Amino acid sequence: MREQRRVLVVDDDSGIRTLVGRVLERAGWLVVDAGDGAQALEILERGKVDIDLVLTDVSMPMLDGLELGRRIAGMTPPRPVLYMSSELPDALAPEGADRKVPAFLLKPFSMETLVTAVVGLLAASAAAG
């Protein structure tokens, strides 16, 4: 039996959190959600719940997804971050051939695209770690 992985879904739109959470749960993941980056950071720092991947909106109040991703990058253990937004922010656009482009979903995206992206990012993270 496959170990259930946990995905932290971060978005200030409760409808998106609910929809994305349901899709991921149906695909077999456990879902924890947060309404903004500050709440997500608190969940991660408390460490009471093991999080395997963070799916975050880019534009949010309090602490946006880009800053959340920067802070997650400095945490132990490292966790993959999948960004989502209705437009590609300049901060995520490639600036050179050697720059790694973060995992990104352009809203609106299909639920199949979401599941495929999460599976791929978790697999890449497991292979790297």
Question: Can you name the CATH fold of 6-128?
Answer: Rossmann fold (3.40.50)
Question: Which pTM does this prediction carry?
Answer: 0.89
Q: What is the pLDDT of residues 65-85, one digit of tens each?
A: 999 999 999 998 889 999 999
Residue with tokens 């149906």: 26
- DSSP-assigned states of every residue in the chain: -PPPPEEEEE-S-HHHHHHHHHHHHHTT-EEEEESSHHHHHHHHHH-SS--SEEEEESS-SSS-HHHHHHHHHTSSS---EEEEESS--GGGS--STTPPPPEEEESS--HHHHHHHHHHHHHHHHHH-
Q: Hey, where are the domains in the chain?
A: 6-128
Q: What is the pLDDT of residues 9-45, one digit of tens each?
A: 999 999 999 999 999 999 999 999 999 999 999 999 9
